[in-house]
Amino acid sequence: MASTQGIPVLMVGRSAENGKAVIALLQPDYDVIHFCETVPSAKEEIPTVLLGLPVHAATPIGSNAHRTNTGSKLPTPEFIFMGAGFPDEDFEEVKAAVGELPEGVRWARERRSDFDGLGLEKEESWHEAAGRRVPKPEIIAQAARRVFARAKEEGA
């Protein structure tokens, strides 16, 4: 399922602004094909992305947003990543709405512990995005790589 651009990932995160920077930092190992910024958009868009169909994205970032619709199936994710900025209830709500995942697709839930040792105690590790104080994209990308590694191990 991996593309020549990296392992395809669907990302659910609180800030498109931060998301764009995190996406760039995950390349070339990971190809974020689609990004959702809210629980309602995730519930609506993820099932369509899993089918490899074009979706009118509420937040049109990610590599699928830039692919022309040639009638061919679009890349589908190997991981569906949901950031630690969402409470567990939101994660469970999205999982329930999406239902059973196709073979080869795994959930990758970011936990607060994925940030351990990444310097969050330092003021310079934080910034404002979407009106919230959040870790800088570099920190989020490091934590995301930990999440993907754990999801691979759990799914092996």
Domain boundaries, the chain: 7-155
pLDDT number for residue 3: 43
Residues pairing with 133 in the sheet? 128
pTM here is: 0.92
Percent of the chain with pLDDT over 70: 95
Q: What is the pLDDT of residues 105-143, one digit of tens each?
A: 999 999 999 999 999 999 999 999 888 899 999 999 999
pLDDT band at 67 (very low <50, low <70, confident <90, very high): confident
Residue 107, φ and ψ in degrees, nearest 5: -75, 145
Query: 3-state DSSP call for residue 59?
Result: coil
- CATH architecture of the domain 7-155 equals 3-Layer(aba) Sandwich (3.40)
* Rounded Cα distance, 63 and 31, in Å: 7
Number of H helices, E strands in the chain: 4, 6
Supply the pLDDT for residue 144: 97
CA-wise closest residue to 67 among 137, 5, 19, 11: 5
pLDDT in tens, 23-40: 999 999 999 999 999 999
pLDDT for the residue 65: 87
Q: Of 50, 37, 24, whose CA–CA distance to 144 is shortest?
A: 24
Sign of the alpha-carbon dihedral angle for 98, 99, 105, 110: positive
